[in-house]
Each structure stands twice: as structure tokens, then as C-alpha cells.
Structure 1
Amino acid sequence: MGNKTNGLLALVGLGALAYWKYKKSTPEQQQAVKDKFNNAKDNLNKWGNDLKDKANDVASQAQNKFDEAKTKVEDTATNM
């Protein structure tokens, strides 16, 4: 329990320090921080969308293979 508490306190402390430093910085520095966050958000969204597209492609390929196998089994069963 002590490690979790210490970790949370450290995280809150770092957050407070970052907020204080951000508020004391110049408008140009604040804009640079905002740009970094926006860039990181855009990259994360792009990565998520790429991952989603790949997952959909794999699911589609699997569905196609399943449909082909099902058709072969049905054809074999009707020819018997």
C-alpha cells in the first residue's frame, strides 16, 4: 500500500510542478507545449486508426476464408 501511495504522491507532485512551470512560462513556450500535445494526440489517433484498419482487414480476410471453406464443404456434401 505504501508504494502506491508514494507513487500517487509523486505523480501529483510532478503534475503540480509541470502546471506551475507551464503557467510561469512565456506565451511562446506555452504554445510550444500545446503544439507538442496536439502533435502527440494526432499521432496517437493516426496509430489507432491504422491499427483499426489492419484489424478490419484481417477480420475480412478470415471471413472470406471461412466462407470459401464453408462453400467447399457444402459442395462436397451435395455431391455425395
Structure 2
Amino acid sequence: MGNKTKGLLALLGLGALAYWKYKNSSPEEQQAVKDKINNAKDNLNKWGSDLKDKANNVASQVQEKADEFKNKAQDTVNKTQETYNG
């Protein structure tokens, strides 16, 4: 048996044991497990949206810098044209 197979069997064994423990625990304990899972989900979702917000902030800052740079370049071009034309 390869290491992957052993690892998979160990994982399945742990899953089965956890399921058996869950099925044989009191409703209060089952609720506690559900709460833990829901909390983990909420934290993941919050983390995901925080990341999205940060990414959006960075993107808008980059856009602002690009616009600023473009405007400066345009001003320079305009001033240069005025100098030659004036």
C-alpha cells in the first residue's frame, strides 16, 4: 500500500470516527459542532470580503495614480505646445 492510500484511509477513518462521535453525542454537543462550523464559514466569508475590499482599494488607488500621471503628462504636452506656438 502506498503512502497516499494510507493517508486517504487514515483520513476516512478520522472522518468516520468524527461522524460516529457526532451521531452519538447529545443535541447540545451537535449544536456546538454546527455553531463551530458556521463560525468558521462566517470567518472565511468575512476574510474573503475583507480581501476583496483591499483589492478594490488598491485597484482604485492605482487608477487614481494613473489618472494623475495622465493629467500631468497632458499638462506637460499642453505647456510644451504653448511654448512652441506662443
TM-score, normalised relative to structure 2: 0.84
Report the CA distance between 1:78 and its aligned residue.
2.7
Report the CA distance between 1:26 and its aligned residue.
0.7
Give CA-to-partner distance per residue, 1:10-53, whole Å, 9 cap, x none. 11111111001100111111011001111111111111111110
- 2:74 alignment partner in structure 1: 74
For residues 4 and 64 of structure 2, what CA distance do their matches in structure 1 show? 48
- 1:34 alignment partner in structure 2: 34
Give CA-to-partner distance per residue, 1:50-74, whole Å, 9 cap, x none. 1110111011001100111011112
Aligned AA (1:48): G
For residues 64 and 2 of structure 2, what CA distance do their matches in structure 1 show? 53
Report the CA distance between 1:3 and its aligned residue.
2.0
- Identical aligned residues as a percent: 76
- 1:60 alignment partner in structure 2: 60
- 1:20 alignment partner in structure 2: 20
Query: Displaced runs of 4+ in structure 1, greater than 3 A?
Result: none
Aligned AA (2:8): L
TM-score, normalised relative to structure 1: 0.90
5+ long unaligned stretches in structure 1: none
State the number of aligned residues: 80
5+ long unaligned stretches in structure 2: 81-86
CA RMSD in angstroms comes to 1.4
